[in-house]
Chain A
Amino acid sequence: MKYICLLIFLITHQFAFSQQNDFIPIKNKHEIEQKLNNHSLKLNTIYSDFIQEKHLAYLNDIIISKGKFWFKKENQLRWEYNTPYKYIIALNHGTFTIKDGDDIKEYDINSNKAFQEVNNMIISSVRGTLLKDNKFTISLYQNKSSYLVKLIPKNKEMTKVLKAIELYFSKSDLNIFKVKMIENEDDYTVISFTNKKINETIPATIFNLN
């Protein structure tokens, strides 16, 4: 009996270990970059549900939030948290609006460097130029089902906030299904996208919070 238990443990442990570590570096980087870039150019709208998991390994805890995400080319975006709190960020033709409970505040994107950075990152992701962004050291990996793009900020100020960003793309449809924002080994946030709808009509009112 104890051998069976040991065998089960070894198999499951090996499986878990391989799941995390089976990404290997991609040799023909340019080809994959081109593939992802070409695909992003075909994206006009994205709708998705998301689950955000804040991992606090040192406290043995995960804080989970859920919400919805809308994107419309070129730079309209709505990021909406529904549980366990209500919080919406919308980006709409040069304005950045935050709705926190019943409070709504509107900002000009150019008034804040952080908003500009977010805006630039979104636009470059969609235009397919993020992988050529010289603000990051970019490395590409793959396993059987996914591509992993690892972005390490070059700017020291940004590394104080985030050590790395990992973007996971499905090989089957080339859509992003997971983003991991790493602050340090024990402290990171994973956002998983589910129920994606690509290039479906999104009404313009979605991006207007007023």
Chain B
Amino acid sequence: MKRFLQPFLISISLFVILGCANTRHLTRQKTNTAFVVSPPLHRQFSTALYKAKITLGKKKFSGLFYFKNLPDSSIRILFLSEFGLNLLDLEYKNHFFTVKNCKDFLNKKMVIKTFEKNIRMLIDTPQKVKHRFYNDDNGNIALVILKKQFKKYYYFYPTNATTIEKIIATNRLSKASVDIQQRQDMPAVINIKNNIIDLNINLTLIKQK
């Protein structure tokens, strides 16, 4: 019974927390056709190299995350060890991921799917969604909610800025959050947390081109 109730309690808590707390000082706009939600890593670079610290359960990994925008509009994402070994190689094209290479210790369906879900939040926004826009007291965009079936994506904007500082993606049972510190219109520090699988990713920008 307890096990049965747990998912419902989690979803109700999420609903209450996200549905009420974050929008209480904001004013909902009916429409805003001019505002486009751009993902944090939105083709503003050719390549970006991040130092990565990853916690997966009790295991800790470190390495480098390398993002490359390619001329065919695809994005290549590599997770490399400091010594240069290729641990995970993903291609993102037409809103879909292809795993090009993955070392055995990471090659678990749940882990790969969570990596993909997290990285997708950084490089793309969901398609065919309903939008809700919320303004702060000064009339600036503070929150955009994108809804697609049972999934909701919350994009939080700091005062007077159009770069995202926080993303929360939720569905009935899972929640992933991304916290971003910007530096010159480029995410300098990115912290990703997941609740359904104990995977946390911390990225610190080393350099971009």
Binding site for B on A (CB under 8 A): 52, 54, 56, 59, 61, 63, 65, 81, 84-85, 87, 98, 100-101, 105, 157, 160-162, 181, 183, 187, 189
Contacts and interface: CB of A to CB of B under 8 A. Distances in A.
Contacts of A81: 82
A38 B207 CA distance: 44
B98 to A, nearest CB: 13
Given A189-B84, A189-B85, A160 B62 contact: no
Given A63-B64, A63-B66, A84-B207, A100 B53 contact: yes
Contacts of A85: 51, 64, 82, 206
B64 A61 contact: no
A100 B64 CA distance: 12
Contacts of B86: 183, 187
B104 A59 contact: no
A100 B62 contact: yes
Contacts of A160: 103-104
Interface string B40-76: 0000000101010100000010101010101000001
Given A85-B206, A87-B82, A101-B51, 5 more contacts: A63-B49, A65-B82, A85-B64, A157-B104, A189-B84
B35 interface: no
Interface in B23-50: 47, 49
B24 to A, nearest CB: 37
Contacts of B207: 84
B78 interface: yes
Contacts, number: 47
Contacts of B201: none
Contacts of A161: 85, 103
Contact of B85 (A59, A100, A183): A183
A45 B80 CA distance: 30
**Most interface-central of B68, B76, B82, B86 (chain A CB within 10 A):** B82
A174 B98 CA distance: 45
A10 B114 CA distance: 51
A189 B85 CA distance: 8
B83 interface: yes
Prevailing SS type, chain A contact patch:
strand
B45 to A, nearest CB: 13
B78 A56 contact: yes
Nearest to B50: A85
14 contacts: A54-B80, A56-B78, A59-B76, A61-B68, A65-B82, A84-B206, A84-B207, A85-B51, A85-B82, A157-B104, A181-B85, A189-B83, A189-B84, A189-B85
Contacts of A105: 60
Nearest to A67: B82
Given A84-B207, A87-B62, A100-B53, A61 B84 contact: no
B207 to A, nearest CB: 6
B16 to A, nearest CB: 36
Nearest to B70: A59
Nearest to A181: B84
Given A63-B64, A100-B53, A54 B84 contact: yes
Nearest to B76: A59
A100 B63 CA distance: 10
A182 to B, nearest CB: 11
A162 B84 CA distance: 11
A63 B103 contact: no
A27 to B, nearest CB: 33
A164 B166 CA distance: 43
Contacts of B47: 61
Contacts of A87: 62, 82
Contacts of A100: 53, 62
Nearest to B207: A84
Contacts of B104: 157, 160
